[in-house]
Amino acid sequence: MTQLTAMFVMFILYGVLPAAGLYLGYRGIKKVTAPKMLEYKAMPQLGYIPEKSLPVEIKTALDQINDKGEKLRVIYGDTNNDGKIDDKDTVNETYVLIQNLMDRHVPLAVADYRRLHDLDVGNGALADTTKIKHSDVTGKEALLEVLRTINTQFDDLLNASYHQDGQKLLATNRYLQQRFNNPTSNSRLQQIDNSAVEVQAIENPANKETDVEDIKL
């Protein structure tokens, strides 16, 4: 082993490997100690907010809105029922409403509430205990009312979708019953089939073959 090779090995063993170990250890500790952030598939705009910064009631309301909003986006956004929302789907007013609520109104309301906490210079939770001027609610209660209103709206949309799809099933069932259980219709179809068989038998009687020699040009 040459002197240059030995120096290179020493550099790897006592320079690169310890530095890599320290870096990976730092990343691991940082990941373990970092606060857990909110994770909402339908509302990724809230992903920068630590979970512990919001009261349990607010997180519960956001969980419900996220689940319902995700379902509603598919129901009202996937209009051609191909399993995805793209340019082939027809955008309607209800879908735009759902998008605006999830993408804009909910994140803005949560941001306003968190700013109230930033104004708190004491040890108490100002936004949770102090009523807003000219109102009878605290900042926390005001946000909960906003989320409750959206939750109720989403419940109404889900309920309307359920009954609409249910009516489609009932209509399909009535059509099929009328189509297959109507004796008159079935008899008429059978007569048409029998007539077609008779016409075919007259035009081309059974066991009769065309003699090529009888055809004159």
**Could you tell me if residue 100 is inside a domain?**
yes
Domains held by the chain: number: 1
Calpha distance 116→124 (Å, rounded)? 12
Structural domain range at position 156: 44-179
pLDDT surpasses 60 at 99 = yes
**What percent of the chain has a predicted confidence (pLDDT) above 90?**
21
Domain contains 197: no
pLDDT tens sequence across 135-170: 888 888 999 999 999 999 999 999 998 888 888 899
Q: Does residue 135 lie in a domain region? A: yes
| Res. 126 pLDDT band, cuts 50 70 90 | confident
- pTM for the full model? 0.64
163-209: per-residue pLDDT in tens?
888 888 999 988 888 888 865 555 555 555 555 545 454 455 545 44
Query: Does residue 128 fall inside a structural domain?
Result: yes
Backbone angles phi, psi at 83, to 5 degrees: 85, 5
pLDDT at residue number 185: 52
Does 195 fall in a domain?
no
Q: Could you say which DSSP state residue 73 is in?
A: H
Question: What pLDDT score was predicted for residue 77?
Answer: 84
Assess if residue 171 is contained within a domain.
yes
Count the helices and strands in the chain (H runs, E runs). Answer: 8, 0
Helix (H, G, I), strand (E, B), or coil: what is residue 135? coil
Measured CA to CA, the distance from residue 29 to residue 69 in angstroms comes to 35
pLDDT of residue 122 exceeding 50, the answer is yes
What the block records as the tokens of 14 is 């006592």
35 pLDDT tier (thresholds 50, 70, 90):
low
pLDDT attached to residue 37 = 75
Contacts 24+ apart (CB under 8 A), 112-117: 112/143, 113/58, 113/139, 113/140, 113/142, 113/143, 114/49, 114/53, 117/53
Token pair of 198 as six digits: 């008779």
**Is residue 206 classed as helix, strand or coil in its secondary structure?**
coil
User: Percent helix, strand and coil across the chain, each rounded to 5?
Assistant: 70, 0, 25
